[in-house]
């Protein structure tokens, strides 16, 4: 527990700094775009009505989806600029997050600008004209100052929203306070989750409070209050940026190791990072990437290396459904990835993280069940799975190959799967082969003699930029073929277990000592 808190504090300067940069940039951009749009919209109903409708629709898109959608959008745009002008834009990280958050910031600001301007007393507008103001003078000297309190209220709403939603930019590769939440959820580190939520809420409240102070300073025409609020805002931003400025982050010029959003990936990325650091590279990590986003990011050079699984790439990237066998799949993947994406596979790390089916050891022995084929003789057995397994091709292949279509199915939240099988609620459960809890709960993995389940060999992939970097490859090469399933299971268990929980970094260090250099 204390270790988690200490680790969380250690990460705070980086996470908070990046969170503030992103939120504040999105808000400034949101204000810069919404203010002029709002002024035009307030004057022209033909423009204003559809504009507000469009911005409202954006607001109904779930935050995570909106952020994720900007990735393929920018990727397409990047390809276009590459073709037309010979440069590409970064589709991962800051830019897509900034654009999505700016869209989110727009609605409350825009709506309040329009409401405030449209609601001004016509007699006052007439007076502005009557004393000899030009339309521009009327706007800046009368209309905007009178609209300011309502506009500021809109900015405050946008601030609270944007600071909150910024946590969702983690899966598209932008570091934020969301890293605590996403990592914490995956490795069930509730201290991390809570830490991320509290930090984001505290930031949102602080900014809101300072803006409220600026608002009351404006209303009371108190210059002192306005200056205090302005200084407060600057102080928050400066404090958040200080670590970035004092210590330029390595990721800007160094190596970036990617990780998807679960414990094993965090451990492996830490392991790779420590090997590369020791070889003299400056390394940073980008974790919690979505599955296909990680692959695209590698191809685009946003990350330089990560671990993916052969069965995943086979289906998702190559779009293949045939099963050529374990080694053939690795070979064909290596050739295709190199040819189509310039990505080099250094080979399999030596273990699989595959869909498997497991039983309690005593129960399997009592029923004489060793393989999936033996299950056919026991149609009364209950099979438990996570929420997706029964709709995946893996289950269809297994059910067809071994005649298991009639088995009674139950679905559980992944954590409860192990409890279900140990307590006897389910006789057989689906699981991932490298999950440390299989050994921990005394489960046996059922053989798959007909090879119906695809192989999921962990492959170390290197992006185009370092495909021929001998020093880079030499630093990672010793990992190839040297991580046994047992070692990976033990490391995963250190992170996943409820008691004496380790951080991914600690588990990676533990593994590192047991691996060749």
Partner 1 sequence: MIEILQLSKAYAGSGTQAVSNLDLTVLEGEFLVLIGPSGSGKTTTLNMVNRLVEPDGGEIRIQGQNVLESDPVMLRRNIGYVFQEAGLFPHMTVAENIGVTPRLLGRDDAWVEARVHELLVMVQLEEGAFANRLPAELSGGQRQRVALARALAARPPVILLDEPFGALDPVTREAVAADVRQIHQRLGLTTLMVTHDMTEALLMADRIAVMRDGRLIQVGTPRELAASPADDFVTQLIENPRRRAHALAEMLNA
Cβ count near 376 (within 10 Å)? 12
Nearer to partner 1, 225 or 249 (CB): 225
The least CB distance from residue 146 to partner 1, in Å, is: 6
Which SS3 state, helix, strand or coil, does residue 381 take?
coil
The least CB distance from residue 114 to partner 1, in Å, is: 19
Nearer to partner 1, 216 or 316 (CB): 216
The least CB distance from residue 210 to partner 1, in Å, is: 22
Q: In whole angstroms, what separates CA 51 from the centre of its chain?
A: 30
Nearer to partner 1, 124 or 227 (CB): 124
The owner of tokens 């996943």 is 496
The least CB distance from residue 148 to partner 1, in Å, is: 8
Q: Which helix (H) or strand (E) holds 457?
A: strand 457-462
Distance, CA of 59 to CA of 63 (rounded, Å): 8
User: If 0-12 CB within 10 Å is exposed, 13-18 middle and 19+ buried, where does residue 22 land?
Assistant: buried
Nearer to partner 1, 142 or 493 (CB): 142
Q: What are the beta bridge partners of residue 258?
A: 286
Span between the terminal Cα atoms of the chain, in Å: 32
Sign of CA dihedral 435, 439, 445, 451: positive
The least CB distance from residue 78 to partner 1, in Å, is: 47
Nearer to partner 1, 35 or 241 (CB): 35
Q: What are phi and psi of 414, to 5 degrees?
A: -45, -40
Nearer to partner 1, 137 or 482 (CB): 137
The least CB distance from residue 112 to partner 1, in Å, is: 17
Q: How do beta strands 457-462 and 344-352 pair?
A: antiparallel
The owner of tokens 């609020």 is 229
The least CB distance from residue 150 to partner 1, in Å, is: 13
Beta strands in 282-363 (DSSP E): 283-289, 305-309, 344-352, 355-360
Distance, CA of 177 to CA of 198 (rounded, Å): 10
The answer to whether 30 and 217 have CB atoms below 8 angstroms apart is no
The least CB distance from residue 137 to partner 1, in Å, is: 7
Across the beta sheet with 428-432, what order do the strands follow?
408-411, 382-385, 428-432, 355-360, 443-445
The least CB distance from residue 141 to partner 1, in Å, is: 8
Nearer to partner 1, 124 or 376 (CB): 124
Nearer to partner 1, 223 or 252 (CB): 223
- Cα-Cα-Cα-Cα torsion 341, 257, 173, 92, nearest 10 degrees, comes to -30
Q: Which helix (H) or strand (E) holds 498?
A: none
Q: How do beta strands 382-385 and 408-411 pair?
A: parallel
Nearer to partner 1, 137 or 484 (CB): 137
The least CB distance from residue 30 to partner 1, in Å, is: 25
Helix ranges (DSSP H) in 247-309: 263-278, 291-300
Nearer to partner 1, 126 or 198 (CB): 126
Distance, CA of 320 to CA of 315 (rounded, Å): 5
Q: Which residues bind partner 1 (CB under 8 A)?
A: 123-124, 126-134, 137, 141-142, 145-146
The owner of tokens 């000899």 is 132
Nearer to partner 1, 144 or 509 (CB): 144
The least CB distance from residue 300 to partner 1, in Å, is: 51
């Amino acid at each position: 527990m204390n270790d988690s808190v200490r680790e969380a504090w250690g990460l705070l300067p980086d996470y908070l700094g990046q969170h503030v940069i992103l939120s504040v940039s999105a808000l400034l951009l949101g204000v810069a775009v919404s203010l002029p749009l709002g002024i035009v919209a307030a004057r022209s109903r033909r423009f204003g009505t559809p504009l507000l409708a469009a911005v409202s629709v954006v607001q109904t898109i779930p935050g995570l989806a909106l952020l994720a959608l900007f990735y393929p959008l920018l990727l397409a745009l990047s390809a276009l600029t590459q073709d037309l002008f010979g440069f590409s834009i970064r589709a991962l990280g800051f830019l897509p997050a900034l654009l999505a958050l700016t869209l989110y910031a727009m609605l409350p600001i825009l709506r309040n600008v329009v409401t405030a301007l449209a609601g001004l007393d016509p007699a006052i507008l007439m007076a502005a004209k009557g004393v000899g103001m030009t339309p521009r003078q009327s706007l800046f000297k009368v209309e905007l100052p009178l609209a300011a309190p309502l506009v500021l209220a809109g900015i405050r709403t946008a601030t609270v929203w944007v600071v909150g939603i910024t946590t969702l930019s983690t899966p598209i590769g932008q570091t934020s306070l969301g890293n605590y939440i996403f990592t914490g959820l995956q490795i069930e580190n509730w201290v991390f989750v809570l830490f991320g939520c509290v930090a984001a809420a505290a930031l949102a409240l602080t900014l809101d409070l300072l803006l409220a102070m600026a608002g009351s300073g404006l209303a009371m025409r108190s210059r002192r209050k306005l200056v205090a609020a302005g200084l407060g805002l600057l102080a928050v931003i400066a404090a958040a940026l200080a670590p970035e400025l004092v210590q330029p982050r390595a990721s800007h010029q160094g190596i970036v190791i990617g990780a998807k959003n679960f414990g094993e990936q965090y451990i492996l990325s830490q392991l790779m990072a420590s090997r590369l650091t020791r070889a003299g590279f400056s390394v940073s990590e980008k974790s919690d990437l979505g599955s296909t986003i990680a692959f695209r990011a590698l191809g685009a050079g946003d990350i330089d290396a990560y671990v993916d699984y052969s069965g995943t790439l086979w289906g998702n990237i190559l779009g293949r459904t045939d099963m050529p066998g374990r080694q053939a799949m690795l070979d064909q993947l290596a050739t295709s990835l190199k040819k189509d994406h310039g990505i080099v596979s250094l080979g399999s790390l030596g273990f699989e993280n595959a869909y498997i089916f497991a039983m309690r050891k005593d129960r399997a022995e009592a029923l004489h069940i060793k393989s999936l084929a033996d299950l056919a003789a026991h149609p009364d057995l209950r099979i438990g799975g996570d929420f997706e397994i029964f709709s995946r091709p893996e289950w269809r292949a297994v059910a067809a190959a071994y005649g298991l279509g009639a088995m009674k199915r139950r679905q559980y939240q992944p954590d409860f799967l192990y409890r279900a099988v140990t307590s006897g609620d389910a006789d057989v459960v689906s699981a991932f082969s490298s999950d440390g809890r299989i050994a921990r709960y005394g489960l046996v993995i059922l053989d798959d003699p007909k090879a119906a389940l695809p192989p999921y060999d962990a492959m170390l992939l290197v992006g185009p930029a370092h495909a021929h970097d001998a020093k880079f490859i030499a630093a990672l090469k010793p990992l190839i073929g040297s991580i046994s399933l047992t070692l990976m299971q033990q490391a995963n268990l250190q992170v996943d277990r409820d008691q004496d929980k380790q951080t991914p970094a600690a588990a990676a260090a533990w593994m590192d000592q047991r691996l060749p250099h």
